[in-house]
Amino acid sequence: MSELKTDTRLWSSKARNLSPYTPGEQPQHDNLCKLNTNENPFPPSPKVGQAIAKVLTKQADDLRLYPAPESDDLRKALADFYHLDTNQVFVGNGSDEVLALAFASFFLKERPVLAPDISYSFYPVYAHTFGIELVQIALEADFSISPDAYRQPCSGIIIANPNAPTGLLMSLADIKKLANEHSNAVIVIDEAYIDFAQTEEGSVSAISLINEFDNLLVTQTFSKSRSLAGLRVGMAFGNASLIEALTRMKNSFNSYPLDKLAQAGATASVLDVEYFEQTRQQVIDLRESLTAELIALDYQVLPSHANFVFARPNDGDANAVASALREQGIIVRHFDKPRINEYLRITIGTAEQHERLISALTALRAMST
């Protein structure tokens, strides 16, 4: 049967010309080793399920009512966790919605927005959707981000830190440099993976800088370190004026973004600090052990601060490795793009998943020698 051609005659020119973001593959197969979408290998805090169950049982009648439009309890929990005021916290339906609102709130100006050329591939989609000029700044030869390369007029800058898909971490000193040198532009630091960053200096989140810089907005997500990708909760932290702009934009688009179950589950996750710290450290430990095992197989592995590693096989044929792994039910991410097409992005999984991956890679290596 021939494939039907899509009829676009009723579409707007905007819809017709969009190039949507392509999310990571979500295959459904038995015995699949899924290491391609940076989901957490551990379940969320048990208190999340308990909080949601409470809403569904004791307060089920409340589901006929709208949820709290500003997610007050969740924002209060986040403010307490990060030692902020509640008016410095914004929450939305996943960090992707929060980022889209940031583009609309701060970057719809005459000057372009700047972003790394190798980073989260949703940034160009947002820019195109909102009709914003995006100037992509090339990463350095070692895939790092140099703040000096961003010295040009702009309406804003957006950087994922740790960056994706490289996993490299930009220092707080470099972020401060950007905020100082672009005082009339909003600097968005997308910290989807920041909870897996670990340095000798301690805290590496740019949230520690928002009281110093009124032009700094930090976004995070519950999808990674809190194992709640299925709940769709994201947040932003910044000067109260930036948060007010996001709230105005949100209430002009989707005034009740988080349902009662999401608010209850996310709040319970924030309050269970012990479980969060325990599973976060487990992922970091698994990342370090996987890195060592890959290096032992002659892979070049970038120093990751995320819940994934970016690894290059000795011969650079990452596509062949990804294809061979797929045949064994092991899914990793390969980006067929210049400069990074010789690398694989491998999500940190369980110890058992790593054992299966390394066993398969060892066999592949033996076949090629």
In 3D space, the residue among 26, 23, 40 whose CA is nearest the CA of residue 192 turns out to be: 40
Q: Residue 98: how many CB atoms within 10 A of its CB?
A: 25
Phi and psi angles of residue 134, each rounded to the nearest 5 degrees, phi first:
-110, 125
Question: What is the tens place of the pLDDT at every residue in 278-304?
Answer: 999 999 999 999 999 999 999 999 999
pLDDT at 167 over 70: yes
Residue whose entry in the numeric block shows the structure tokens 């005034």: 255
CA Rg value for the chain: 21
Question: What is the tens place of the pLDDT at every residue in 217-230?
Answer: 999 999 999 999 99
Residue whose entry in the numeric block shows the structure tokens 């601060």: 305
Question: What is the tens place of the pLDDT at every residue in 303-321?
Answer: 999 999 999 999 999 999 9
Cα–Cα distance list, 69 to 47, 91, 256, 271 (Å):
23, 10, 5, 21
Question: 0.95 exceeded by the pTM?
Answer: no
Report residue 192 CA to chain centroid gap: 3
**Strand ranges inside 43-112, DSSP E:** 89-92
Sheet holding 89-92, edge to edge: 89-92, 234-238, 216-221, 186-190, 156-160, 113-116, 134-137
Cis bond upstream, residue 257 (ω within 30): no
pLDDT at 166: 98
Q: Residue 159: how many CB atoms within 10 A of its CB?
A: 25
Question: What is the tens place of the pLDDT at every residue in 45-103?
Answer: 999 999 999 999 877 788 889 999 999 999 999 999 999 999 999 999 999 999 999 99
Compute the residue count for the chain.
Answer: 369
Cα angle value 222/35/138 (rounded, 5°):
75
pLDDT at 145 over 50: yes
Cis bond upstream, residue 165 (ω within 30): yes
pLDDT at 1: 43
**Alpha-carbon span 41 to 32, nearest angstrom:** 13
Q: Residue 54: how many CB atoms within 10 A of its CB?
A: 13
What dihedral angle (degrees, nearest 10) is formed by the CA atoms of 268, 272, 273, 278? -120
Phi and psi angles of residue 312, each rounded to the nearest 5 degrees, phi first:
-115, 120
pLDDT confidence bin for 29, thresholds 50/70/90: low
Do the Cβ atoms of 19 and 128 come closer than 8 Å?
yes
| Contact residues for 367 (Cβ-Cβ < 8 A; gap 6+) | none
In 3D space, the residue among 44, 367, 29 whose CA is nearest the CA of residue 233 turns out to be: 44
Do the Cβ atoms of 297 and 358 come closer than 8 Å?
yes
**Alpha-carbon span 147 to 162, nearest angstrom:** 15
In DSSP terms, 189 is beta-bridged to 159, 218
Do the Cβ atoms of 340 and 312 come closer than 8 Å?
no
pLDDT at 60: 75
pLDDT confidence bin for 266, thresholds 50/70/90: very high
Report residue 9 CA to chain centroid gap: 35
354: helix, strand or coil: helix
Q: What is the mean pLDDT of the chain?
A: 93
**Alpha-carbon span 138 to 145, nearest angstrom:** 8
**Mean pLDDT over residues 219-242, rounded?**
97
pLDDT at 3 over 60: no
pLDDT at 28: 58
**Alpha-carbon span 194 to 192, nearest angstrom:** 6
Of 30-39, 142-151, 199-208, the range with the lowest mean pLDDT is 199-208
pLDDT at 21: 57
pLDDT confidence bin for 17, thresholds 50/70/90: confident
Which residue would you say has higher pLDDT here, 3 or 213?
213
Question: Residues of the chain with pLDDT > 90: what percent?
Answer: 83
Of 25-39, 165-179, 261-275, the range with the lowest mean pLDDT is 25-39
